[in-house]
């Protein structure tokens, strides 16, 4: 499911949005709740996955930069909207929020410091104060020492909702890095937020290395789940169909020049695809992705497509290896993927 943010046609580089992909084996336990203002996507993770007794509500968020066309299309206080969402879903279960928030927070404290009622006052008026003070947390290790207006609003949101920033706090120390490489400098604008009681359920939190494909570093998170039996009746519809041939590709350097030549010969088709991109609706996005994938498959398949082994083939090969004196049998006819794709 994809939710694009409206683009300014005068700025071809401006974009952004949300895309959620779920592994089919987990899909019976994860449900889409709602999308709000093309900015927040809420998902519910069933409590059967976890060791706590409430469902987990996860918000995938993208807050456009302050100068984005988005803010002229949606007349709303995006941080107030996010706060209202968090408060609403907090009454139903546990909360996590992750995404590109375009907030720079430096090392500002995201909890109320020295937040406690004096013990003498509590003893004198025990029924007056029903208040849980904020947990004191370690200082976040943030390489980005700059803050902006969005960052200040995010800090206020953390204090009012009880969510805390996990960047720079995870036990492995692999979340203490920049998340964005801009034209002028590096910064931290992508975050993972949750409540303190869920910190221990995050097994890994890694800010990955930058790649040539994005100016953002991906956030890699692993959450503890119970040993759920993924072969029970809940997911029989999601079991893989071993009778269906799945497309698998393997790079072969000897066909690189031929592939480049084929791609060059089809450059007009590629340009046509790029000129007809449609991000105005979900159907448009689906068709755009499908057309582009089909184009690449047509170019790459003759050179790099291989046929994966099915389960029955694997069993047959194992039988061959365990008979006839345990000698491995080989075919004299080369595999289809080993032939010259141009022949």
pLDDT tens string 141-150: 999 999 999 9
Q: What is the pLDDT of residue 333?
A: 37
Q: Point out the least confidently predicted range of 26-30, 178-182, 219-223.
A: 26-30
Q: For strand 94-100 and strand 164-165, is the pairing parallel, antiparallel, or unpaired?
A: unpaired
Q: What is the pLDDT of residue 249?
A: 80
Sign of CA dihedral 121, 122, 128, 129: positive
103 pLDDT band, cuts 50/70/90, is very high
* Bridge partners, residue 191, by sequence: 99
Q: Which residue has the higher pLDDT, 84 or 133?
A: 84
Q: What is the pLDDT of residue 247?
A: 65
* 2-234 CATH choice from 3.40.50, 1.10.10, 1.10.3470, 3.60.10: 3.60.10
* Residues belonging to the chain: 343
- Write the CB contacts of 269 (distance below 8 Å, at least 6 apart in sequence): 295
pLDDT at 48 over 70: yes
Q: What is the pLDDT of residue 302?
A: 86
Among 2-6, 16-20, 333-337, the range with the most confident prediction by mean pLDDT is 16-20
- Every domain of the chain with CATH number 3.60.10 lies at 2-234
Taking residues 156-162, report their average pLDDT: 94
Q: Which residue has the higher pLDDT, 287 or 245?
A: 287
Taking residues 211-221, report their average pLDDT: 92
DSSP 8-state symbol, 326: T
Tokens coding 137 = 């947390």
Taking residues 91-103, report their average pLDDT: 96
171 pLDDT band, cuts 50/70/90, is confident
Report the 10 Å Cβ neighbour count for 129. Answer: 10
Nearest-angstrom CA–CA distance, 177 and 175: 6
Q: Point out the least confidently predicted range of 43-57, 184-198, 264-278.
A: 264-278
pLDDT at 299 over 90: no
pLDDT at 162 over 70: yes
Q: What is the pLDDT of residue 33?
A: 94
Q: What is the pLDDT of residue 66?
A: 83
Q: Point out the least confidently predicted range of 151-165, 281-295, 307-321.
A: 307-321
Nearest-angstrom CA–CA distance, 258 and 262: 6
pLDDT at 5 over 60: no
* Distance, C-alpha 328 to centroid of its chain: 43
> Following DSSP, what letter does each residue of 18-40 receive, concatenated?
EE----TTTGGGEEEEEEETTTE
Q: Which residue has the higher pLDDT, 3 or 305?
A: 305
Q: With 0.75 as the threshold, say if the pTM is over it.
A: no
């Amino acid at each position: 499911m994809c939710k694009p943010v409206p683009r300014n046609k005068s700025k071809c580089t401006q974009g952004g949005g949300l895309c959620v992909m779920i592994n089919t084996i987990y899909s019976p336990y994860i449900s889409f709740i709602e999308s709000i203002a093309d900015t927040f996507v809420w998902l519910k993770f069933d409590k059967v996955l976890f060791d706590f007794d409430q469902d987990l509500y996860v918000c995938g968020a993208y807050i456009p930069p302050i100068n984005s066309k988005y803010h002229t299309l949606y007349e709303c206080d995006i941080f107030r909207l996010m706060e209202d969402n968090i408060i609403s879903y907090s009454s139903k279960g546990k909360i996590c929020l992750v995404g590109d928030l375009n907030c720079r927070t430096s090392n500002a404290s995201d909890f109320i410091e020295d937040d406690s009622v004096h013990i003498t006052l509590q003893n004198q008026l025990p029924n007056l104060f029903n208040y849980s003070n904020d947990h004191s947390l370690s200082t976040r290790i943030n390489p980005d020492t700059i803050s902006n207006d969005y960052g200040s609003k995010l800090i206020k949101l953390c204090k009012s909702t009880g969510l805390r920033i996990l960047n720079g706090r995870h036990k492995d120390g692999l979340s203490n890095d920049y998340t964005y490489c801009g034209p002028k400098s590096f910064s931290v604008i992508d975050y993972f937020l949750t409540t303190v009681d869920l910190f221990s359920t995050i097994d890994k939190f890694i800010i990955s290395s930058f790649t040539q494909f994005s100016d953002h570093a991906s956030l890699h998170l692993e959450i503890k789940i119970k040993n759920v039996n993924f072969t029970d009746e809940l997911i029989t519809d999601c079991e893989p169909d071993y009778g269906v041939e799945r497309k698998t590709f393997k790079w072969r350097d000897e066909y690189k020049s031929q592939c480049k030549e084929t791609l060059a010969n089809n450059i007009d088709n590629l340009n046509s695809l790029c000129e007809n991109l449609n991000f105005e609706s979900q159907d448009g996005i689906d068709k755009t992705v499908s057309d582009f994938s089909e184009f690449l498959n047509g170019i790459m398949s003759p050179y790099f497509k291989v046929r994966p082994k099915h389960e029955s083939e694997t069993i047959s090969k194992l039988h061959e290896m365990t008979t006839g004196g345990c000698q491995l049998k080989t075919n004299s006819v080369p595999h289809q993927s080993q032939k010259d794709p141009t022949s």
